[in-house]
Structure 1
Amino acid sequence: MLYTPAVRGWLVQAVPGQKRGAIHNQPVLDAEGKPVSAGPEILSAETWAAVRAILDGKAKGRGADRTGRSLLLHVAHCSECNGPLYRQRRAVNGKDYSTYVCRNGVGKRGIHKPNVIIARNVEELVTADYLRRFGSFELMRWAEPDGSAVLQLSEVTQQIERLAGNLAQLDPNGTAAWAVIEQLTALEKRQAELQAEAEHAEGRWVATGKTIAEEWEQRSEEGRRAMLADLGAQVVIRPATPGAPKRFDPERISVSYQGPEWRRELNPAEAHLIELAMEEVLSA
């Protein structure tokens, strides 16, 4: 009962394809992508987030990825329009051929040429590069005394993930898909506003006592995506060259990092010293 989003005062429904229950319940969203209220909240956003974190830490089997969730959601972007790439599930004879697709290059309403790439290959390339660069670094955790904007940002991000999962199962040229895209657009706008607020939040970074590689092994795909975001990972994918062989081409992918978020807040002199130390580690 404490796990379901109904305690926030929201109208809920089961994830498509799942039985109704606390773990699989999700908020019903209005046309703007906001949760529909069903009454007063029982738990605040901050309390509910803390409760769920404790329950997840004690539970086994929770955190399994939903259809459409992806490691590189809002990390991978299209080189043509800088829009996010969404993971679309596709299985053939039991094999995973899921892809990352730019919605602005799909169908008659597309504004540029198609940009589609096999998801598994991209994720493996980014994972290997990320751990090679940062795996031995100590992981830091943000301690947030006033987490209102941060918690709202987390909720909006989860709503985006749910809608992305629904979009992956819809006909890209159908009316339902475009309705979902409109909701995603509204949510992404709100996400940007909350990110700006969160940047001015007061708090501090504290050491977790684990390396990034150790934490990566323990986290779900959703948690790993958060780690990529904390390191400022940016993946740009270019469309395939017309007439090129239909095989995975790593040259289509550019991976860059702004660096750990806890370092981006340092003054230039401190950041320079840390970057020198980082170069020594990476060149060892």
Structure 2
Amino acid sequence: MTERLMLLDTASPCFTITRMTTEHAPRRVIGYARISKATDESTSIERQREVIQATCHARGWALADVIEDVDVSATKTRLDRPGLARVRDAVAAGRVDTVMVWRIDRVARSVSDLASLTEEWAKTDVSLVSATEPFDMTTSAGRMLLQLLGVFAEFEAATIRDRVTAARAALVKAQRWPGGSAPYGYRIVDNPDGAGKALEVDPVEAAYVRKAADLVLSGKSVYYATNVLNEAGSVPRKAKAWSMTSLRIVLTQAATLGHMTHKGKVVTDADGQPVQVWEPILPEEDVLRLRALLAPTKTPGGERKRRARLLSGLLRCSSCGGSMRVNKTGGHNPVTRYACHGRSDGTGCTRATSIVAERLEEHVERTFLATVGKLEVVEARETVREIAELAATEAAIKSTTAGLADVDDDEREAELMSDLRTLKAKRRELLAMPDEPEVEYVSLGMTFAEAWEQRDTDGRRDLLSSALQHIVVKPGVRGRRGIDPDRVDIHWRNWTAS
């Protein structure tokens, strides 16, 4: 087959150098369009689609489809985008010869991402073509130009990021709402003190926050409070229903105290004290008590354990007895698996076990519900009043100490000094109390099967932990599909077995 280089549409803004063949079969093209914000008319999906369609029509190329990613940032999501995944699948399946975009920055915003895609597609002789930029991937000069376009796209993304960061910092300094969804319990309103936006308390949502806080502070569990809010019709910001995790965040976050955060940190004044920008939903003493009550479990190193899957932390490898962790394998279409990392961790596992996560989770769920589904759930509640009081006392000591630094009245200074002595004495009493909390077992009035239906992944893992000690997974037989029950050995707790 002979080939020649052709210069097409030189009078059109859609100017591209590409390799054409003398074959009569039209080039098979799939288009890709992306936009970060659907409100941006200059790069609208409609405009991108029209340019791609017009370019293919002018060149006699067969356009199969234009795949879209709307409200998707190429900087944040990198190559993990649903629309781009469909394009890559079409390329891998051999259904297209060319991927066409309006501009290169629609498909990638970094040189490394662009190089990754072009190398992936080059393996199947698929070219990336821009409808508005001149380059030819089949020549060294064209590949150099493509890399330069990638550099400029990355530079533009960095410039936009710096500009947005600077704008948000200026808004924070002026104590104006910097944008985005309002924290639960608040609504966005016009700034009464000038330009921009501000937050004010939403009375309906704030009442739900107050209700949940009262329940937890009175000794009810977060799970109980979550159910109360869901049954009352309350809906969180980014989910259809409350989970224990989302409720914990709202009850303990800085926004609930009327504080603003910037880059993950609470905005403070010149003295390092948090600035109260909005009206608080909960008083400070309640939030401090809630933070003490709902503090996450820590690892020996002080970092919170992250549990991403249902069986995280519950699985053991039969070969070495080590914990199995979640990983993904399979390249473009990864499969999530639980696997033993004994070899890489240096423990010397001789036959590391690996199993598909979803299949194992389905098997364990069926077995768990069949075994204990009809039993009643009993929750162990620890009395942690001393911890909450200690947190509140520490906060009061800090506040009183700060007040002493600013006082210029002898009588007021004497009062604060007296208060400080009293608070420190109370702290000593609290620290002298026994560390062991009192445990009370309370029926939740539901079966394990009923609780399973109502809980999220974290809640279901808690149910599993209450009924079983761990699960030992044995190596599988090569070529056998599905779950082999003999591979999974569930070690139940004594009360379950009896």
> Which structure has the larger Rg over C-alpha atoms?
2
TM-score in terms of structure 1 length: 0.49
TM-score in terms of structure 2 length: 0.29
